[in-house]
Amino acid sequence: MTGKSRKVEFLYLNQDEVIQCGALDMAMVMERIEHLFTLHEKGETIVPDKITLRWGDAASEAVTGRINAMPGYVGGDVDTAGIKWIGSKPMNPSNYGLPRASALTILNDPETGFPISVMDGTVISAMRTGAVTGVAAKHLARKDSRRAAFIGAGTQNHTQLLAVTTAVPDIEEVYICDISAERVDAFLETETAKHPGRSFQGTTSAEEAVMGADIIVTATTSLKPIVKADWIKPGAFLANVGNYEFEFEAVEAADKIVVDNWEAVIHRGIQTVAIIVNEGRMNRDRLHAELGEITSGKRPGRENNLETIYFCAVGMGAEDIIVGRRIYEEARIRGIGTWLTLWNNPVWI
């Protein structure tokens, strides 16, 4: 809305249109996410705590799911506010033939507060979550990493795999582990053809997957630890994407602990490092850095090949906003999407 105009419109983008505008371009998404972390370190973001709507306690999420509200503002050259509203229902695939997650991303003009775009946020959410691990791997994984293990054969590890291989392109061996052999087989069927030249192995044994891995990514809804300290190779990069997936000793033995947002990780309280802190076994003094300190050059990332580095990300709504803004800009340039009228004439009640 400009000048004296009373008409308020916003651009609606469905999932196909979001994809047409580049949402599946992992290199682009990682570039945006790295920029976001640098802006965050400079104090140019606003990241309120994630609000979780659940039907029970935290443990119930594995069955009844949750809906998260994740607002944020990204300043600097982005200057956009917004929110991701994302539902996660684990029983959707088996009960309804629907994906586990569904999301909307809303972008707002920070000056007027009015919405400028509403778009499907499901692909953006999955891609930016993978991209966070990819950015971390770029700075924290060994450059000569050859073997990667992914625990969990659900939707999220598809984008984790894409991000890790984008960040560390010399990965030769990929292990996929899940408690369901069916999910492992489905994952391998989808991904093997996308990665010619890489060897893929599927297993239901986490130990088999993890032993000898240079990069270990866990993306599950587990309520008890999966990865044991004794399985971890010195110099490995560990990415705790899901819940309580690494045993305490694995995190406590790490040479460096890095998170995306310390306060948000502890507030969420479900990942291994947060549980350790909340049980009084660790405090912030043990933290090496937040990821933005590393992307901005204030703190070092990996300094030698023997460092075992643990990374934990809880996710921030600002990540969806910065990627959504790029999608919106591309849609405007290409004339993609549908303009919807919010107000023709304001009615004050």
3: left (phi over 0), alpha (psi -120 to 50) or beta: left
The DSSP result for 146-182, as a single string, is -EEEEE--SHHHHHHHHHHHHHSTT--EEEEE-S-HH
348: left (phi over 0), alpha (psi -120 to 50) or beta: beta
Which tokens sit at 336? 């993609």
Q: For residue 220, what are the contacts with CB-CB under 8 A and spacing of at least 6?
A: 151, 152, 154, 226, 242, 243, 245
- Note if 42 is an active site residue: no
Catalytic site residue from 84, 89, 138, 256: 84
What is the distance between the alpha carbons of residues 156 and 70, in angstroms, rounded to a whole number? 18
Secondary structure of residue 92 in the 3-state scheme: helix
Angle 257-258-264 from CA coordinates, rounded to 5°? 115
Instruction: Give the pairing type, strands 237-240 and 147-151.
Output: unpaired
90 within 8 A of 66, measured Cβ to Cβ = no
Instruction: Give the pairing type, strands 237-240 and 8-13.
Output: unpaired
What is the distance between the alpha carbons of residues 160 and 191, in angstroms, rounded to a whole number? 12
Q: Other C-beta atoms within 10 Å of 43: how many?
A: 9
Q: Could you list the active site residues?
A: 84
